[in-house]
Amino acid sequence: GNSVTQMEGPVTLSEEAFLTINCTYTATGYPSLFWYVQYPGEGLQLLLKATKADDKGSNKGFEATYRKETTSFHLEKGSVQVSDSAVYFCALSGGNTDKLIFGTGTRLQVFP
């Protein structure tokens, strides 16, 4: 079945450091891929998405490219801020449903 694997956290960085959070997936067909972010005490918010191979999703300085050849959707940001501290979830959906399959989440902690 479909699944998503994320790197375990926490990821601890200093402000202005480069961020990569790895995400790989297993799916039949051509899933849509998402990154959601959960700030402390809040629900999940969509951060970015991509629907086909080689698409790049971007938002708030974050980027992720849909790589079908490596079945990956790694999240990157060139310069993180303290306000980026949150839990990041990679997810996929596919077929004719909206059901999302989530990774286990990666906690990012950014220190001044």
Partner 1 sequence: DADVTQTPRNRITKTGKRIMLECSQTKGHDRMYWYRQDPGLGLRLIYYSFDVKDINKGEISDGYSVSRQAQAKFSLSLESAIPNQTALYFCATSDSVAGAMNEQFFGPGTRLTVL
Binding positions for partner 1, rule: CB under 8 A: 32, 34, 36, 42-46, 49, 51, 89, 93, 98-100, 102-105
Cis peptide before 112 (omega within 30 of 0): no
Separation in Å, CA 37 to CA 1, 27, 45, 55: 24, 22, 5, 20
Query: Of 12 and 45, which has the nearer Cβ to partner 1?
Result: 45
- Residue 2 Cβ vs partner 1, minimum distance, rounded to whole Å: 11
Query: Of 17 and 100, which has the nearer Cβ to partner 1?
Result: 100
- Residue 112 Cβ vs partner 1, minimum distance, rounded to whole Å: 26
Q: Are the C-beta atoms of 62 and 76 separated by less than 8 Å? A: yes
Residue with tokens 């990157």: 76
Query: Of 36 and 62, which has the nearer Cβ to partner 1?
Result: 36
- Residue 15 Cβ vs partner 1, minimum distance, rounded to whole Å: 26
Query: Of 41 and 112, which has the nearer Cβ to partner 1?
Result: 41
The rounded distance, in Å, linking the Cα atoms of 79 and 56 is: 18
The rounded distance, in Å, linking the Cα atoms of 73 and 38 is: 18
